[in-house]
Chain A
Amino acid sequence: MADNIFFEFLHMEMVDYVYKMDVSREEHEQVKMNAISTLENMGFRVGQGLIERFTKDTPSFKDDLDVMKFLCKDFWVNVFRKQIDNLRTNHQGTYVLQDSKFSLLTQFSNRKQYLLEAPRYLAYTCGMVRGALSNLGVDSIVTAEVSLMPACKFQVVIQRS
């Protein structure tokens, strides 16, 4: 089977490109926000597209927890070839998804050195998660944090209208 590393390099190149483009246009602090949201929005559409393709035969979900479990198992396996390692919730709409070896961070050194830059390499995935959930009928805000590469945590806060 073909390897995913080409995709990982494509993703890195995409992130670097979006950051470079914003640097040439905006002031410093604004740069970070714009690039992150550009990447997040790109991910959002892709997340919607991915879900469309593979939930045609899936029955509807009984609640948000069901949706999140689907995301952690089926979706994550389909996209990242592994499940989420740990799912926690406060049962009030906040979920924390832990991936101990996140596919898009494995190309970086397993050290704290690149910690400052890590968020930019998670924005696209946050968007994908938000997009996937959106197509499954769940509105959310998705953020991510890294404390020790390549482990990271995605936080999903479900929005009630």
Chain B
Amino acid sequence: LSQQTNTLNSELFTLTYGALVTQLCKDYENDEEVNKQLDKMGYNIGVRLIEDFLARSSVGRCHDFRETADVIAKVAFKMYLGITPSVTNWSPAGDEFSLILESNPLVDFVELPDNHSGLVYSNLLCGVLRGALEMVQMAVDVKFAQDTLRGDNVTEIRMKFIKRIEENLPAGEE
């Protein structure tokens, strides 16, 4: 049954994501709203993706945030996006780090139009990470610190550990 290889088609992914962002920009007046929607959709994806991840990777429970960071960069990103960001810029307290993406499959061939300077094009990824980690009892804050689409040299995602979530309490929003 699982003989069919189901490998990522990054062109399809990129074009579909682009179509989605375009539609969101049509539906919402401003970039902030689009960013929020992308985050929300990402969250919904993240809470399901983590189940797939836990079922298919042989990764056990992470003991600390550093381990979590490594798993995210070296296993999860590789498994779902075919890239391995590097983990850098740890805060002294060890509760915050950056993922540096040399390339980002979501943005191949994409150019931001002039009137969308506030758009965080790949914001879906922040939601995915947030949703996925919430399901393993970690509340995190995720945002883009740098974005090649906006002229920066690299794409940098900043992740901050907020707190451990008690099990059996209802999770965040729908």
A residues bordering B, Cβ < 8 Å?
A: 1-7, 9-11, 13-14, 16-18, 21, 38, 42-43, 45-46, 49-50, 53, 78-82, 101, 103, 124
Q: A2-B82, A3-B79, A9-B48 given as contacts; is B16 within 8 A of A46 (CB)?
A: yes
A interface, over-half SS: helix
Q: A1-B82, A81-B4 given as contacts; is B20 within 8 A of A10 (CB)?
A: yes
- With CB as the reference atom, state the residue of chain B lying closest to A1: B7
Which segment, of B37-45, B58-66, B113-121, faces chain A? B37-45
Does B45 lie within 8 Å of A4, measured CB to CB? Answer: no
| A-B pairs under 8 A by CB, number | 90
How many chain B residues sit at the interface, stated as a range, is 20 to 34
Does B6 lie within 8 Å of A5, measured CB to CB? Answer: yes
Most buried by A among B45, B49, B82: B45
Q: A3-B80, A9-B48 given as contacts; is B9 within 8 A of A38 (CB)?
A: no
Q: Which residues of A contact B24 (CB under 8 A)?
A: 17
A122 to chain B, nearest CB (A): 15
Q: Which residues of B contact A80 (CB under 8 A)?
A: 9
- With CB as the reference atom, state the residue of chain A lying closest to B76: A6
